[in-house]
Chain A
Amino acid sequence: MNFYGYRRKNGTVGVRNYLAVISTVICANEVAEAIANSVEGSVPILHPQGCCQMPVDLKRVTATLAGLGKNPNVGAVLLVSLGCEGVNVDELADKIMQADKPVEKIVIQEIGGMSKAVAKGAELGNLMLAELKKQEKVPASIADLVIGIKCGSSDTLSGLLTNPIAGMAADKIIDLGGRVVFGEVTEMIGAENHIVNRIEDQAVKDKVLNAIINIENRAKSIGEDMREGQPTPGNIKGGLTTIEEKSLGAIVKSGSKTIDDFIEYGEQVGMGKLTVVDSPGREPELLTGLAAAGVQVIIFTTGRGAPQGYPICPVIKVTANPRTYCKLNEFIDVGFTIGDHIDDIESVFDADSDKLLSYLEEVCNGKQTKAEVNKYNKFINIYSIGPVI
């Protein structure tokens, strides 16, 4: 599988070429959005974090925003800071510059307010974008790709059909030399047997199992049954009864290969072929974790019809639920028509996973996903572990 992409100075290859206008704190979102609206070809990264958080979370927000800035799909970064927030904008700029890409910053309280910040941001942004537009696409291969896999708004068919197809695609991506990342540690609760059998390295095994224990303990510490939270009311309407059932259906989206690395939320992938990123299941946090890890494209399986994409990564929505494919076609990129062929499931999985990989190749070559066309990709979050204080 080959494509034409944007090779960055650090060797990574983007399938998109964005100027990311990154707000460092919730209080700078309006300005970052206004700047992005004035610079055609830029994307705003807006989020509700960055101040009045515990140091561990401020560190995590900084690492995560740096990861988003370093993502191969981002060619240049404009940071928008209020000036008094917990995130240190200069430290953030330094981290992103380690990926050897242009970074500029606007500090609202220093420059003298919103209008001046937006005017200066638009000026800087347009200059950076003009440079970006000069970059030509070059040949690249699947070895340059890191693909994220996520499931969301699941029904029981997700576990029976859609996720196994995505899992087979993940296996093929790894066989062809690419790397795969997945997270959603909440949806590993109850699937520990499956996971342990797929990890050879004891340190990786310990980290994954600890992450599962931690996320379950955090949920239990509230003193409630987590059902309705996970599985969600929509999952339950779709036929999922418990978190264990959801997890066992979810884990198969990661395929059958050895899980050879584990990274913290906000960290970037290493050379592991199949990496787990510590993260919860909810989309705004999970998709951010994948994008910060450095994935260029996300394959997102859905049962009931999850709508969202992500600002800097194409998100390919796939479903094997024929009703969802018809009814919510404006959200879904690839539908699998397995229903009539259920007796010959393996060969259909094979054909459908090939169909997904062909679509992935098109998306890497510039085809717009439904979420990109719909611009259903603005609201993101960063997974925090402590309280807002």
Chain B
Amino acid sequence: MNKAIVMNEKDNVATALCDISEGSRPMIVGFKSGQGIVVKSNIPFGHKFALCRIAENTPIIKYGEVIGVSTAFIDAGEYVHVHNVESLRGRGDQ
């Protein structure tokens, strides 16, 4: 069974507890367990996908806290990682 975990009710991302294939509908555990999401790309074990549509420049929430900000529009079920999220901290380049 494909599973993903949501750590806090405020979170807009879930974390895959196994490799999840594109098009499948993982069981969500933790918070938001009723939510059905079809993942839009292959999500490796331990990586994240969006639980809802996330506009560009929107906080990404995990553990109920801001873990960064989106650098592009992210559709529900889409892979969320360094390609579309940047950190707000330790940014000597900004």
Q: Which of B34-42, B50-58, B62-70 contacts A (4 or more CB under 8 A)?
A: B62-70
**A301 CA / B65 CA spacing, docked (Å):** 22
Instruction: List CB contacts (< 8 Å) of A330-363 with chain B.
Output: 339, 342-343, 345
**A230-264 Cβ-contact flags toward B at 8 Å (1 or 0):** 10000010110111110011000000000000000
Contact A241/B85 with A160-B7, A190-B67, A194-B65 known, Cβ cut-off 8 Å: yes
Which of A221, A245, A342 is in CB contact (< 8 Å) with B62?
A245
What is the distance, in angstroms, from A163's C-beta to the closest C-beta of chain B?
Answer: 11
A-chain residues with CB within 8 Å of residue B16 when the two chains form the complex: 239
Q: Is there an interface contact between A220 and B86, defined as CB atoms closer than 8 Å?
A: no
Q: Is there an interface contact between A244 and B91, defined as CB atoms closer than 8 Å?
A: no
Q: Is there an interface contact between B47 and A189, defined as CB atoms closer than 8 Å?
A: no
B-chain residues with CB within 8 Å of residue A202 when the two chains form the complex: none
Q: Is there an interface contact between A189 and B29, defined as CB atoms closer than 8 Å?
A: no
**A104 CA / B29 CA spacing, docked (Å):** 59
**A286 CA / B17 CA spacing, docked (Å):** 29
**A339 CA / B65 CA spacing, docked (Å):** 25
Q: Is there an interface contact between A227 and B87, defined as CB atoms closer than 8 Å?
A: yes
A-chain residues with CB within 8 Å of residue B60 when the two chains form the complex: 241
Contact A243/B90 with A194-B65, A342-B17 known, Cβ cut-off 8 Å: yes
**A264-305 Cβ-contact flags toward B at 8 Å (1 or 0):** 000000000000000000000000000000000000000100
Contact A221/B48 with A245-B68, A342-B5 known, Cβ cut-off 8 Å: no
B-chain residues with CB within 8 Å of residue A208 when the two chains form the complex: none
Contact A224/B92 with A160-B5, A241-B48 known, Cβ cut-off 8 Å: yes
Q: Tell me if B3 is interfacial: C-beta within 8 Å of chain A.
A: yes
Which of B46, B66, B81, B90 is in CB contact (< 8 Å) with A157?
B46
**B8-30 Cβ-contact flags toward A at 8 Å (1 or 0):** 00000001110000000000011
**A194 CA / B65 CA spacing, docked (Å):** 9
Which of B5, B87, B92, B93 is in CB contact (< 8 Å) with A242?
B87
**B66-94 Cβ-contact flags toward A at 8 Å (1 or 0):** 11100000000000111001111111111
Q: Is there an interface contact between B46 and A155, defined as CB atoms closer than 8 Å?
A: yes
**A191 CA / B62 CA spacing, docked (Å):** 11
Q: Is there an interface contact between A227 and B82, defined as CB atoms closer than 8 Å?
A: yes
Q: Is there an interface contact between B92 and A225, defined as CB atoms closer than 8 Å?
A: yes
Contact A225/B87 with A194-B65, A242-B67, A339-B17 known, Cβ cut-off 8 Å: yes
Enumerate 13 A-B pairs (CB-CB under 8 Å) in ascending A order.
A156-B48, A160-B7, A190-B89, A193-B65, A220-B90, A225-B93, A226-B87, A226-B89, A241-B80, A242-B86, A244-B68, A245-B63, A339-B17
Query: Hey, which bits of chain A sit against chain B, CB under 8 A?
Result: 155-157, 159-160, 189-191, 193-194, 216, 219-227, 230, 236, 238-239, 241-245, 248-249, 303, 321, 323, 339, 342-343, 345
Give 8 nearest A-B pairs by CB, closest first: A226-B90, A239-B46, A242-B87, A220-B92, A245-B67, A239-B47, A156-B46, A242-B68
